[in-house]
Amino acid sequence: MPDSQMHLAAFITAGPGRPGGWRYPGSVPGWLSARYYQDIARTLEDARFDLAFFADILSVPDRFGGSTDSQLRNGALGSMRIDPLHVLSSMGAVTSHLGLAATVSTTYAQPFTVARSFASLDHLTDGRAAWNVVTSFQESEARNFNLDEQFSRNQRYERADEFLEVAGKLWDSWEDDALVLDTETPLFADPDRVHAINHAGEWFTVQGPLNVPRPPQGYPVVIQAGASTKGKDFAARWSDVIFCSHASLESAKDFYTEIKERATAHGRDPGSIKILPSIAPVVGATHAIAQQTFDALFELVPPLGGLSTLAYHLDVDLSTFPLDERLPDVEVPGVEGHYREVREITERDGLTLRELGKQYGGRAEGGFIGTATEVADGLEHWFTEGACDGFMVQAPYQPGGFEDFTRTVVPELQKRGLFRDEYEGNTLRENLGLPRPEPGEWANRISTQKAVQ
């Protein structure tokens, strides 16, 4: 049964966000300052958001003409990005309920390090940590980690599967009651309840145990945004939350149905996966103000900023195509989901590549532009039509865009009973309505998988 209320996450960039957004009057260039993120965190928690989410990338992409210039010059999505894990701890220090999600790649990290990092964050924030699992898809990232070229998509997902298997074993390596703290005996931790994991697989050999007790949430919340068939399957197996991007209600509904079916096939309760499409609402006191705000923002998007971001998202060097013609059909090694979206836009609106660059950089994903009532109507429609369990909300410019949304749209959703007035629980899992996993739950999921195959 779908939830009766939607979940709201904020998509924040630890760097300039939407191309052009940093040029908008009132945008604050505070991406290097803890205060900036802490102010956003307070705004979101006051509005009862489920979580703050940080995307990530491990390079300045050079997929457009083999150069980082167009990213840097235009302050495009990949131009600058600080480590989201530090940002989360800073935000955690000034909040008590907001979930805290960071992207970490399974391709360029080690399971012991990542399992420990999220377990530590989960303890320090009393159960509010979430991990957006990505497999990475840029050659420029591979080249920052000793490789000439990336592993194939298949290899990356195989590695990711094993990475999560090991992480789960490490989180389970301390039983929930292993930390005894008996000062008399003394018995600090009970050795009979802390176990080596002795994992020896294709990609990783890890003895364990972790040197951190089991996280308050059992496992941190797992988020995923894989868009290929392989990616959707991975997401259906492991994710608590799925983040996606759609150009229309129809494609969102199709995706929603498909993922819930895949989850069922994996023996999981489809209600235990929350699907949150990314939206970029622009809200105004009147419809005209909202539209003019959107137009003013759109005006500021440098076409090559958007285009060089699209180039790295698709992993296609778009500098080789004529700017004033339509993008032809291309082979896309990168994010298939973004390509699907781009094809839909290009055909619907008859865009040249230059226009597409501006559109890709400046589009209001989901098309929610209007008064708070109008935006709430749109969100309600998507939600009740079965296209999603809530939304991943981008701000058209930071931090003001979050203030506008939380001050006007959230109260409207609350009035309609579509969004919480108060947090239901303390941990992120509790607020998402997800059970705390029992030790061994992932191990069981893997062996069920193996039995099914």
Ligand X SMILES: Cc1cc2nc3c(=O)[nH]c(=O)nc-3n(C[C@H](O)[C@H](O)[C@H](O)COP(=O)(O)O)c2cc1C
Cβ 244 to ligand X shortest distance, Å: 6
Residue 113 burial class via C-beta count within 10 angstroms: exposed 0-12, middle 13-18, buried 19 and up: exposed
- Residue 223 to residues 44, 98, 270: CA-CA distances in angstroms? 19, 16, 15
**What's the token pair of residue 368?**
């929610």
Judged by beta carbon distances under 5 to 8 A according to partner kind, the member of ligand X, its own copies, none in contact with residue 448 is none
96: which residues sit within 8 A by CB, 6+ positions away?
Answer: 45, 126, 426
Q: How far is CA 433 from the centre of its chain?
A: 18
Judged by beta carbon distances under 5 to 8 A according to partner kind, the member of its own copies, ligand X, none in contact with residue 143 is its own copies
Any idea what the Cα angle at residue 312 is, between residues 167 and 36, rounded to 5°? 70
Site string for ligand X, 298-337 (x = CB under 6 A): -------------------------------------xxx
Question: What's the helix, strand, coil split of the chain in %, to 5?
Answer: 45, 15, 40
Judged by beta carbon distances under 5 to 8 A according to partner kind, the member of its own copies, ligand X, none in contact with residue 93 is its own copies
Judged by beta carbon distances under 5 to 8 A according to partner kind, the member of its own copies, ligand X, none in contact with residue 285 is none
Q: Which residue is nearest to ligand X (CB)?
A: 231
Segment near ligand X (CB under 6 A); pick from 16-24, 53-61, 62-70, 322-330: 53-61
Judged by beta carbon distances under 5 to 8 A according to partner kind, the member of ligand X, its own copies, none in contact with residue 187 is its own copies
Where is 146: in which H helix or E strand? none
Interface with ligand X, residue 396, by CB under 6 A: no
Phi, then psi, of 9 in degrees rounded to 5 = -120, 150
**Residues between 224 and 243 that touch ligand X (CB under 6 A):** 225-228, 230-231, 243
* Nearest by Cα to 114 from 167, 75, 67: 167
**What's the token pair of residue 102?**
């960071």
Judged by beta carbon distances under 5 to 8 A according to partner kind, the member of its own copies, ligand X, none in contact with residue 335 is ligand X
Cβ 385 to ligand X shortest distance, Å: 20
Site string for ligand X, 128-147 (x = CB under 6 A): ------xxxx----------
d(CA 139, CA 153): 12
Site string for ligand X, 71-90 (x = CB under 6 A): --------------------
- DSSP 8-state assignment for residue 236: H
User: Looking at beta carbons only, is 212 or 372 nearer to ligand X?
Assistant: 212
Diameter of the chain by CA atoms?
78
| Residues contributing to the site for ligand X (CB under 6 A) | 55-57, 103, 105, 134-137, 153, 225-228, 230-231, 243-245, 278, 335-337
